Amino acid sequence: MFEELSQHILDIAMNSLSANAKQVQISILESRKHDWLVLRVRDDGRGMDAATLKRVLTNHWSSKPQRRKPVGLGLALLQQTSEMCGGHFHVQSAPGRGTSVTASMRLSHIDRPPLGDLNTTILALCATDKKMDVQLNYRSDGQKFSFDSRELATKG
């Protein structure tokens, strides 16, 4: 359904927006040496209780009636991608304590989607009405990149 990991990231971070997060932190670790790609999206939104979390993770696409609002679909999709690519998927969340989504996958796995257009994903998140702060930390074996929307907002 999503062709790029950066679309998954956008989708998960839009959940943060719906959860009234003031800040979302995205981190990406890409290591050829260890053959892992790890994504983490962490927010300070309202969080979920255990029952809600269980529900959003079990609502897979195929089991949903077509016109009902697909709550939690995005998380289930990322879980699917991650597990299909030899990785692990974990969500940590509690009411009032934000949500942290971690998805890993084997970098060399044949089904692993490309990261894709990460720039446009971050741009979209910078354009939300609620003015959520967006941070990105990207790290690979030899390179590092970080982005923080707060630095830009103060200049403008």
Q: How far apart are the first and last CA of the chain?
A: 37
Least distance from another protein to the Cβ atom of residue 104, Å: 16
Least distance from another protein to the Cβ atom of residue 106, Å: 16
Which listed residue (21, 53, 101, 122) binds another protein by CB under 8 A? Answer: 122
Give the separation between CA 61 and CA 146, rounded to whole angstroms.
34
Q: Which is nearer to another protein, 2 or 83 (CB)?
A: 2
Q: Could you tell me if 9 and 40 are in contact, meaning their C-beta atoms sit under 8 angstroms apart?
A: no
29 binds another protein, rule: CB under 8 A: no
Least distance from another protein to the Cβ atom of residue 10, Å: 6
129 binds another protein, rule: CB under 8 A: yes
Which listed residue (7, 25, 81, 102) binds another protein by CB under 8 A? Answer: 7
**Region 36-75 residues binding another protein, contact defined as CB under 8 A:** 67, 69-70, 73-74
Token representation of residue 88: 């692990």
Stretch that binds another protein, among 45-53, 83-91, 94-102, 147-155 (CB under 8 A): 147-155
CB atoms within 10 A of CB 66: 5
Q: Could you tell me if 37 and 107 are in contact, meaning their C-beta atoms sit under 8 angstroms apart?
A: yes
Burial class (CB in 10 A: 0-12, 13-18, 19+), 106: middle
Token representation of residue 156: 């403008």
Token representation of residue 101: 């989504």
- Give me the residues that bind another protein (CB under 8 A), please: 1-2, 7, 10-11, 14, 17-18, 28, 30, 67, 69-70, 73-74, 77, 115, 117-129, 131, 136, 138, 140, 143, 145, 147, 149, 152-153, 155-156
